[in-house]
Amino acid sequence: MKNEEKNLSRRQMLQMGLGFGGLAILGGSAFAQTIERIVTPEVGMGPFYPMLKPLDKDADLTSVKGQKGVAAGAIVHVAGRVLDTKGNSVKNAKIEIWQANSYGRYSHQSDPNTAQLDPNFQGYAVLKTDNEGRYRFKTIKPGAYPISPTAQRPPHIHFDVEGKANRLVSQMFFPDEPLNEKDSLFLALRMQSAKNAVLAQKMPPENEIEKDAMLLNWDVVLING
């Protein structure tokens, strides 16, 4: 992966720090620590956690090592921080992510969806946060998929985050998706603040990413980090 895909510019980090996590970029400052953040809600792991993990687990899910193709779908860059409720950065947190491809299908034996698989989509990654608790990855927007004759799950990305004291399994939802308000897992988060906590925030486009790519910020808040 090119260097410009690996690293966020300072301007991007400042914008993201002033996103949903509010003043997160100030991390260890006394002022930032006066703000109690809402713990990211638990949202079920679901049945499609990859038991057979791919060999390619890097932060670019849009391609698979050894293959020339590129994953189908709209490119999305997701970046954020892992924090505790006092705003302290959680460095070296392990983050596992997995998701459906752009057709709404997981690369999992138990997925009953008949949509096509995408051989160029990695579908899974393992990340580590840096000293400021930051993470970033590049992927495609997952497709919605049916769970019954009358219901669909909205686009979402699964996260399993292990900090120094806490572990959290949750799902990141995409903003402005009509299916969110019909999703049983999203609706189970009855308080609006909890719903806001699982919604990524769309950020202004930057020159560092591909034209027409989406840039999202999502901070994960653990109780004690």
DSSP code for 147 = E
103 belongs to the catalytic site: no
pLDDT of residue 15: 39
pLDDT of residue 35: 60
pLDDT of residue 116: 97
Q: Which is the catalytic residue, given 77, 105, 136, 156?
A: 156
125 phi and psi, to 5 degrees?
-155, 155
Gap between the terminal Cα atoms of the chain: 29
pLDDT of residue 11: 40
Task: State whether residue 208 is helix, strand or coil.
Answer: coil
Are the C-beta atoms of 78 and 200 separated by less than 8 Å? yes
Which of 74, 65, 76, 57 has its CA nearest to residue 120?
65
106 belongs to the catalytic site: yes
Which of 118, 129, 6 has its CA nearest to residue 60?
6
Mean pLDDT (10-residue bins), the chain, 225 residues: 38 37 34 68 96 93 94 98 97 98 97 96 98 98 96 98 98 98 97 97 89 96 97
Kindly state the tokens that stand for 88: 């302290």
pLDDT of residue 205: 79
145 belongs to the catalytic site: yes
158 belongs to the catalytic site: yes
**Hey, how many other C-beta atoms are within 10 angstroms of the C-beta on 18?**
16
Which of 186, 100, 200 has its CA nearest to residue 143?
100
Q: Which is the catalytic residue, given 103, 106, 124, 135?
A: 106
